[in-house]
Amino acid sequence: SYNADEDQIKDKLQQLRCHFTWELIIEETEIPDLENRVLEEIMFLDIKYNVGIYNLLAYVKHLKGQNEEALKSLQKAKDLTQPEQANQSEVRSLVTWGNYAWLYYHMGQQAKAQIYLDKVKNTCRNLGKSSSYRMECPQMDCEEGWALLKCGGKNYEQAKVCFEKALEEDPENPEFITGYAIVIYRLEGFNKGPQSGTEFCLNLLKQAVRLNPNDAYIKALLGLKLQDVEQEAEGEKYIKEALTNESSKIYVFRYAAKFYRRKGVLDEALRLSKLALAETPFSAFQHHQIGLCYKSQIIQIKKTTNCQPKGQDKENINRMVLLALQHFKRAVQLKPTFEYAYTSLAEMYAEAGEHRKADDTFQKAFCLKSLNKDMLQHIHVHYGRFLELHKKSEVDAISHYLKAIKIESTSIDRDKSINYLTKLASKKLRKNPSDIESLSILGLIHKVKGEMNEALEYYERALRLAPDLENSVTRQGHELE
């Protein structure tokens, strides 16, 4: 009888729409960073409704085995539910009730779980829904979208689907547009080069700013996106406007710092980054950004000294290398799945002449479970560059550039690999016009770029030099098909 009751409760629980059923992809090693980001958002991000973020905090506490703390977070979510926002309030309550039901179930308190299942059932009835335990509506899709968005990159595609579904029903809803614009912006930020979607993302951010004129966070994102599309002066207007607003100040500092770092105004970038870090010392993102500021300063000094720094310039570079290392290391400690921070750390080790540590860090990056194809491509090209410039191993570098190109994902990193390979192969050909491997590589590069006549020309030159290598060259030609 007990088992039958439990099965019945479990069946009802699985019908709910809440954090326990949304299939949020969160690796165990990511939980501390996620909890920290949620707490930062509660403290520093000005949003109208904190109900969703306290629900997420409750779920994170549960993942950590802290169910009593999770209950406290759900109580805060319940207290924040605003009765004047009738329909939205009831939908947000459904998420809270659902989380309560699941939490009590996991705590072995079936009777309390049933109380909250009944609350869900009654609310669904009040809203005229045929299903007793499941609400299908745009606001619920939006709630799910926000939860996915806050749980990191592996959840972004699904978050996008949720916001699109919500917008089908209510295309001018400011909250839906904002969530959708943010997720599209972040998806584009995943190592993507110039593409047709950029204009779409820009228009979405503009629409979000129009519908949310007091939201400094979304203005800062629009500023960064305008900088991406080489409209930096226009972007800076939005950045400055966001900085004059008291809303979401710490987040605006972060994004403004990124804007000024990319603009080359590094003193301002560092100033803003340090202001943000002072309030959020456990932010992996912020430590990484400060490390990038120091890296940019190193590059700047090298350019002005024609890569031959001496005296004070050399001392400044050595000091900045140590500071960058410190922040990149901290970023990786705080978020062990932070792929970009690993490549940044590895490159800074190389800059410091610590090649073994650099190599070890690249290998750790390759071993991360969270790698998607774009990130794998990113690591291959940066590792190839390390092998070429620091280890003086052109053969191994070529191998990794080829691996990056073989990942058929249009990106800045793929373009870099093509460029590096072209230069390497061309240099080798200048030394030896009969270098079959270089001819084959250039043939392959032209093929990748869709330049078939040029590709054939290089392949034919290679085959004329070594007819017995026909199979090898042909195989290389087919590698990317």
Give the number of C-alpha atoms closer than 13 A to the C-alpha of residue 213, restricted to the C-beta side.
1
**One-character DSSP codes across 26-37:** --GGGHHHHHHH
- Three-state secondary structure call for residue 296: helix
Give the residue carrying structure tokens 């092998």: 387
DSSP classification of residue 171: T
Strands (E), 25-167: none
Helical pair 31-44 and 51-63, crossing angle rounded to 10 deg: 160
φ, ψ dihedrals at 353, nearest 5°: 85, 10
Whether the Cβ atoms of residue 374 and residue 409 lie closer than 8 Å to each other: yes
Locate 462 and state its tokens.
């290679």
| DSSP3 helix / strand / coil % (the chain, rounded to 5) | 75, 0, 25
Residue 131: HSE in the Cβ half-sphere, 13 Å Cα cutoff:
11
Q: What is the pTM of this model?
A: 0.88
- For domain 2-136, which CATH number applies: 3.40.50.2000, 3.40.50.10490, 3.40.50.20, 1.25.40.10? 1.25.40.10
Side chain identity, residue 187: L
Contact 144, 18 (CB under 8 A): no
pLDDT tens by residue, 272-307: 999 999 999 999 999 999 999 999 999 999 999 999
d(CA 404, CA 385): 12
Contact between residue 30 and residue 339 where contact means Cβ atoms under 8 Å apart: no
- Assign 394 to helix, strand or coil: helix
Burial class (CB in 10 A: 0-12, 13-18, 19+), 6: middle
Strand partners, 411: 192
Partners of 192 in the beta sheet?
411
- The Cα 73–Cα 235 span in angstroms is 38
134 within 8 A of 43, measured Cβ to Cβ: no
Tokens of 301: 């000094």
Residue 137 is given by DSSP the state S
DSSP letter at 154 equals: G
pLDDT 10s digit of each residue in the chain, 481 long? 456 677 789 999 999 999 999 999 999 999 999 999 999 999 999 877 789 999 999 999 999 999 999 999 999 999 888 654 555 678 889 999 999 999 999 999 999 999 999 999 988 888 776 667 888 899 999 999 999 999 998 899 999 999 999 999 999 999 999 999 999 999 988 645 444 468 899 999 999 999 999 999 999 999 999 999 999 999 999 999 999 998 899 999 999 999 999 999 999 999 999 999 999 999 999 999 999 999 999 999 999 999 999 999 999 999 999 999 999 999 999 999 999 999 999 999 999 999 999 999 999 999 998 788 889 999 999 999 999 999 999 999 999 999 999 998 788 899 999 999 999 999 999 999 888 889 999 999 999 888 999 999 988 888 888 765 555 545 554 544 4
User: Nearest-5° angle of CA 426, CA 429, CA 435?
Assistant: 130
Distance CA 448, CA 7 (A): 56
> How far apart are alpha carbons 304 and 343 in whole angstroms?
25
**Helix and strand numbers, DSSP H then E, in the chain:** 24, 0
Quick check: 225 and 235 in contact, CB under 8 A?
Answer: yes
